């Protein structure tokens, strides 16, 4: 083959390599720019913007969002181990029910492995949901709890789309709203509006 179509094969190979190197370069430059590392800004980060950006650039922790409430630590371990050796997984919990509420933190030993998790695992379908892997400034005790007013994640209180994984409990204090609250899936605050 190479003797007959040698030139066309080598041109194709070169084009492939060019695509690969453009991709590699753009990924590398993306990961050097702290502003492009994550769109999320943690309002509870205990430092300056500069310190936050430095933490994002060096941390070995990633945040996983849009998870099913039924995904287990074992499943997460199996998936995220593909990017590298894992130091610890911390499940995100509803602060009232103490049950998983759709996020977690994965701590790697190496920065390269954390970058690979963001590059290659983000968007993977896990328990029928496309998970989002984001750089994180680093886990601290207390960050495992949902910060929403009802105990879970803030975003779940504002969602306007139907999410079959979200179970909405009845509001026993306000009986007149019970009919709205028995059907789960839409953001709780949105339902109240």
Q: What is the contact surface with ligand GTA in residues (CB under 6 A)?
A: 38, 40, 42-43, 63, 65, 92, 103, 134, 136, 143, 146-148, 153-155, 158
CB 110 within 8 A of CB 43: no
Report, in Å, the least distance between residue 11 CB and ligand GTA. Answer: 42
The Cα–Cα gap between 38 and 31 comes to: 10
Shortest Å distance, C-beta 95 to ligand GTA: 9
Please, what is the minimum distance in Å from the beta carbon of residue 34 to ligand GTA?
A: 13
Q: Looking at 128-168, list the stretches that DSSP marks H as alpha helix, in order from N- to C-terminal side.
A: 154-158
Q: Of 88, 90, 123, 94, which Cα lies nearest the Cα of 108?
A: 88
For 25-28, the CB contacts below 8 A with 24+ separation are 27/119
Q: Which is nearer to ligand GTA, 71 or 153 (CB)?
A: 153
- Residue among 95 and 184 whose Cβ is closer to ligand GTA: 95
Q: Which is nearer to ligand GTA, 4 or 35 (CB)?
A: 35
């Amino acid at each position: 083959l190479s003797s007959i179509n040698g030139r066309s094969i080598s041109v194709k190979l070169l084009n492939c390599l060019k695509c690969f190197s453009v991709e590699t370069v753009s990924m590398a430059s993306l990961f050097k720019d702290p502003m492009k590392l994550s769109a999320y800004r943690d309002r509870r980060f205990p430092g300056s913007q500069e310190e936050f950006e430095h933490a994002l650039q060096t941390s070995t922790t990633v945040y996983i969002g849009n998870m099913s409430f039924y995904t287990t630590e074992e499943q997460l371990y199996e998936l995220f181990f593909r990017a590298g050796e894992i130091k610890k997984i911390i499940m995100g919990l509803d602060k009232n029910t103490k049950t998983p509420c759709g996020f977690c933190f994965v701590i790697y030993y190496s920065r390269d492995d954390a970058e690979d998790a963001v590059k290659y695992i983000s968007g993977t379908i896990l328990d029928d949901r496309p998970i989002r892997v984001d750089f994180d400034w680093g886990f601290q005790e207390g960050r495992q709890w949902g910060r929403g007013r009802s105990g879970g994640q803030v975003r779940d209180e504002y969602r306007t789309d139907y999410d079959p994984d979200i179970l909405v409990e009845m509001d026993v204090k306000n009986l007149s709203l019970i009919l709205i609250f028995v059907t789960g899936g839409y953001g709780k605050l949105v339902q109240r509006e």
